A = this chain, B = another copy of it.
Amino acid sequence: MRIGTALLNGQPAVVAAASDDMAAAVHAFDSMETLLAAPRETANAIVEEATASAPRFAVAELTWLPPVPRPGKVLCVALNNSANPDRIISGPPTPALFTKPTTSLTGHDTPLRLRASYGRVHPEPELAVVIGIGGSDIPHDRALRHVYGYTVFNDLTSPTLRAEDTFHYRAIHPSDSEPDGVRYVESWVTYPARYKGSDTFGPTGPWIVTADEVADPHALRIVCRHNGQIITDDNTANLRFSVAEVIAFVSSYMTLETGDVIAMGTALRRANSGGGAVQNLDLVARGGTVEVEIEGLGVLRNHVEHR
């Protein structure tokens, strides 16, 4: 099942795609959060009935919102592609994560509202997990039971703002010799709210594909296109840490809640046809349409609109 959130009569509503072209309203649930919190089998039966019988909407004509419009948190795994270790001089042996604010989320086919003041902005194509049942200290062998489904995510990033919000500074550390003394340690630290979290930096969707329809989340081709040209052509087989590993790890620090989104990290492999890396694609300068497609999940498409 492919279940998302779209505007119907100007209000957010749960919709389910009955085919690639047509979708049905699922009136039994007033929001995606309500659906995610309902018993799985009950929800599935309701969605199936709606897609079989309810009035149909053209997928292309709906105004899509992020599938979960206001999740408790959006976590993103950094540097989680098997191509990364060659680039890492030192880094953690565990998943490293940051959060994007929910205000950065935007739906399929909505504008990316970029400003010249953002400097360079590039797309980062990613598989995202939507949490069904939340929890803390979720064991690895039960982690996938907490996945409601998968969606497509574009982790827009401004390397210009990243550089601006990086401090080279003397961090305060406790002294080694005096209990109340301090020493200064020259450090670098980067703060991500602007470079990862500005408005429309988190396109998500169009919908969630329920986990039962994704045989293996680590065997999905993932492609990023700009104005139709393939930039990235990778596979989720190249994720360094798996979905289960990330859920088990992060839930030992942060409680996962129903509707939380975890973006699994950037697909990196460049297309053989050339066209550069995603880092070559400055959406502020070049504008146009960017698509992320994941095998079995769908195509997330957005166009640049200068603010």
B169 lies within 8 A of A89 (CB)? yes
Alpha-carbon gap, A225 to B67, bound state (A): 44
- Copies of this chain per assembly: 2
Of the candidates B174, B188, B191, B255, which one forms a contact with A199 in the assembled complex, judged by CB atoms under 8 Å apart? Answer: B255
Main secondary structure of the interface of A (DSSP, over half): mixed
A275 and B172 in contact, given A73-B103, A167-B88, A199-B253 (Cβ under 8 angstroms): no
Indicate whether A206 reaches chain B with its CB closer than 8 angstroms. Answer: no
Q: Which residues of B contact A103 (CB under 8 A)?
A: 72-73, 254-255, 257
Indicate whether A228 reaches chain B with its CB closer than 8 angstroms. Answer: no
Alpha-carbon gap, A279 to B172, bound state (A): 7
Of the candidates B98, B118, B255, which one forms a contact with A192 in the assembled complex, judged by CB atoms under 8 Å apart? Answer: B98
Indicate whether A280 reaches chain B with its CB closer than 8 angstroms. Answer: yes
Alpha-carbon gap, A90 to B96, bound state (A): 25
A279 lies within 8 A of B101 (CB)? no
Whole-angstrom distance between the Cβ of A85 and the nearest chain B Cβ:
10
- By the criterion of a CB under 8 Å from any partner CB, how many residues of chain A are at the interface? 69
Q: Which residues of B contact A21 (CB under 8 A)?
A: none
List residues 244-262 of chain A with CB under 8 A from any CB of chain B.
250, 252-255, 257
A91 and B280 in contact, given A99-B99, A190-B190 (Cβ under 8 angstroms): no
List residues 135-160 of chain A with CB under 8 A from any CB of chain B.
136, 159
Alpha-carbon gap, A199 to B250, bound state (A): 11
Question: Interface digits, A64-77 against B, CB 8 Å rule (1 contact, 0 not)?
Answer: 00000010110100
Indicate whether A43 reaches chain B with its CB closer than 8 angstroms. Answer: no
B279 lies within 8 A of A168 (CB)? no
> Interface segment, A5-13, A176-184, A233-241, A295-303?
A176-184
Whole-angstrom distance between the Cβ of A123 and the nearest chain B Cβ:
13
A191 lies within 8 A of B101 (CB)? no
Question: What 16 additional pairs, Cβ within 8 angstroms, besides A97-B191, A99-B192, A174-B276?
Answer: A73-B103, A88-B170, A91-B168, A92-B167, A98-B191, A99-B100, A103-B257, A159-B171, A159-B173, A162-B189, A174-B282, A181-B276, A182-B280, A188-B188, A190-B190, A192-B192
Indicate whether A198 reaches chain B with its CB closer than 8 angstroms. Answer: yes
B182 lies within 8 A of A279 (CB)? yes
B79 lies within 8 A of A194 (CB)? no
Alpha-carbon gap, A253 to B113, bound state (A): 10
Whole-angstrom distance between the Cβ of A254 and the nearest chain B Cβ:
5
